[in-house]
Amino acid sequence: MKRIIIAIGLALLAAPATFAQGTFLFSGDSKTVWDDYSGAYPKVNGVSMDVAFLIGTGAPLISQIGPSIPTNYIANYNNYFITIYAWNAILNDPNYHLATNGGTTVVASVNPTNGSWTYNGNQAFTNSYASPNTYNVYAIAWPASYGATPQDAEGYYTPVGWSAPFSYVTGDPNALPPTAPQPFFSSVTAFGVPLNIVPEPGTFALTGMGLASLLAFRRRHKSK
């Protein structure tokens, strides 16, 4: 009997740690995502976009390209190679991961309207990777017509915009009393998506074939 009581006690002690997940609120203010560096106006009647966000610690790799994509035109961002590097930095950063909803692998993404978005009915949701804590987060956006997920969009080298990273405090549903997550838009900066840099898919295919040929040539040359 004593062993049973001890086992139950240990299970109860372990339960909060097992299910302790931080909550997020990924919705709020307006005029946050801008189309094509549109200057004085946020997204109104531009292409349909999706937004998502990443959670992590430290400085994200994407910051090496730029702290964010501003809402005014910057020519250095307006080329295909920056787009390729940007997706690689976003999806292959060892210290950051895309936020998902609950214990699923479904990316927490939503389509913005007039520069703003409301995810999950403006209700808090958990993320299986995040315990109640303070994290660095940043938002990304891409044209939805090129992929429903960031991984799909990367395959087309779709233009991508990103906000500056900021500190975010999650909610704790297991606290007494439970705490609410920080409003996402209390800190996120407005950012743009350079939509005018998308070439035809055939151009991407030719570019990829050319790069592959160059790499193969270099390998053969070094082996001689």
pLDDT tens digits along 142-190 = 988 887 899 999 988 888 999 999 999 999 988 999 999 998 888 888 8
Split into its structural domains, the chain has a count of: 1
pLDDT tens digits along 66-85 = 888 877 655 555 567 788 89
Helix (H, G, I), strand (E, B) or coil at 112: coil
Tell me whether residue 117 is exposed, middle or buried, using C-beta atoms within 10 angstroms of its C-beta: 0 to 12, 13 to 18, 19 or more: buried
Q: Strand pairing partners for 110?
A: 51
Domain-embedded: residue 5:
no
Asked if 46 and 36 touch (Cβ cutoff 8 Å), the reply is yes
Domain-embedded: residue 38:
yes
Domain-embedded: residue 9:
no
pTM above 0.85, yes or no: no
**CA pair distance 144, 153, nearest whole angstrom:** 8
**Domain residues for 119?**
19-223
Tell me whether residue 131 is exposed, middle or buried, using C-beta atoms within 10 angstroms of its C-beta: 0 to 12, 13 to 18, 19 or more: middle
Where in 45-189 does DSSP place strands (E)? 49-56, 96-98, 125-126, 134-143, 161-162, 166-169
Q: In the prediction, which pLDDT does 211 show?
A: 42
